[in-house]
């Protein structure tokens, strides 16, 4: 019955997330039949990763979340919204991506419309319904799934309307304050994202909330609430290097960059005078994070010192050669690279883009 159905859904979800999903949360690796492809088949430049498929994933994860309150569904909903749905829309709201590749030579650009026009209205529908994904209620109380500067009026039972005000610069800043206007005995369940690997800090009216909430779960703050109570949630956001299962051959010995819920990429317009394929990110590289209000509508950009290693000249006019052990050391140029959020790519002049970077 229902349990068998739930087990089948969980098997499908596990297969998708552990073998068939891009680091962006995008799904569908084949243009052929708009299909998933085989396990670990995740080409970057030829990724289909249709915007509509990402929206379908958000809707599916929301329904799974409503079934059992498991934070992993909330986590994937957030990852997908920021990094697989949002790239489908230009920053000015006028053009759309059908496919969302993770590498490009500058030819893939958003279009104002499509002959098969599912993506534009689907994005419009999702963005219009987005407020409905922030909170839900259960017998325990109120669940907060997503974070953004916002106000919500939530009916709890027959007699209570609770107003929650979120004050935050998320996803750029790690501090979230939730003001509770209303009273009653209930729990406020706050999602602590799985990317928050070092844990989080929670205070209620300035006092530390001791029940340790591990990443990838909901912190349960149960109390008798009074108007004016404030919960403060701090989610540390170091730059994280993400590696891929080695069975995804194309991503071997490479890393992707994330900070908070956001995936980053390199764009040619920020990294002139080099071929993005030649960038090598040393393991010891340190990142600086700077919020740049003038860039892409205001984003936190990452920068680091990296190497640029061009193929040795023994490769001139050659695609293959017998392995040479003494072709000399490759020339390494030191260079500062700049990474921007992947959702904002292809909004400026056309040029190459890359999510996965070689490591050394």
Active site residues: 34, 118
- 52: phi then psi, degrees, rounded to nearest 5: -65, -35
Q: Which two tokens stand for residue 26?
A: 């995008």
Q: How far apart are the first and last CA of the chain?
A: 52
What distances in angstroms separate CA 305 from CA 130, 264, 291, one per listed residue? Answer: 38, 16, 18
**Please, are residues 264 and 340 in contact by the beta-carbon 8 Å criterion?**
yes
User: Cα torsion for 57, 257, 90, 79, to the nearest 10°?
Assistant: 20
C-alpha triplet 29, 31, 33: angle, nearest 5°: 105
The number of helix segments (H) and strand segments (E) in the chain equals: 4, 20
Q: Which two tokens stand for residue 266?
A: 């390199």
**Which of 213, 74, 82, 212 has the alpha carbon at shortest distance from 146?**
74
């Amino acid at each position: 019955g229902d349990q068998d159905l739930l087990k089948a859904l969980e098997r499908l979800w596990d297969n998708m997330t552990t073998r068939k999903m891009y680091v962006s949360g995008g799904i569908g690796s084949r243009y052929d039949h708009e299909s998933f492809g085989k396990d670990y088949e995740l080409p970057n430049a030829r990724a289909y990763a249709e915007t509509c498929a990402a929206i379908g994933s958000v809707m599916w994860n929301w329904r799974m979340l409503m079934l059992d309150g498991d934070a992993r569904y909330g986590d994937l909903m957030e990852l997908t919204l920021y990094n697989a749905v949002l790239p489908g829309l230009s920053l000015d709201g006028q053009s759309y991506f059908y496919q969302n590749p993770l590498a490009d030579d500058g030819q893939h650009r958003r279009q104002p419309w499509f002959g098969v026009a599912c993506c534009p209205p689907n994005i419009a529908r999702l963005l219009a319904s987005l407020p409905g994904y922030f909170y839900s209620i259960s017998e325990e109380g109120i669940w907060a799934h997503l974070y953004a500067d916002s106000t919500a009026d939530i009916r709890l039972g027959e007699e209570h309307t609770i107003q929650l005000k979120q004050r935050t610069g998320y996803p750029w800043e790690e501090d979230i304050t939730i003001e509770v206007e209303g009273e009653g005995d209930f729990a406020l369940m706050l999602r602590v994202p799985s990317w928050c690997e070092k844990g989080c800090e929670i205070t209620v009216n300035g006092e530390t909330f001791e029940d340790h909430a591990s990443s990838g779960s909901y912190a349960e703050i149960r109390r008798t609430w009074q108007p004016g109570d404030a919960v403060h949630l701090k989610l540390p956001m170091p730059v994280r290097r993400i590696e891929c299962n080695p069975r995804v051959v194309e991503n071997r010995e490479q890393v992707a960059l994330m900070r908070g819920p956001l995936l980053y990429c390199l764009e040619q317009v920020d990294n002139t005078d080099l071929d993005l394929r030649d960038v090598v990110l040393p393991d010891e590289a340190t990142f600086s994070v700077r919020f740049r209000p003038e860039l892409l509508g205001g984003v936190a950009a990452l920068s680091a010192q990296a190497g640029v290693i061009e193929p040795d000249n023994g490769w001139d006019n050659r695609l293959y050669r017998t392995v040479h052990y003494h072709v000399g050391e490759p020339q390494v140029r030191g260079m500062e690279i700049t990474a921007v959020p992947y959702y904002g790519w292809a909004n400026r002049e056309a040029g190459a883009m890359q999510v996965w970077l070689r490591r050394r």
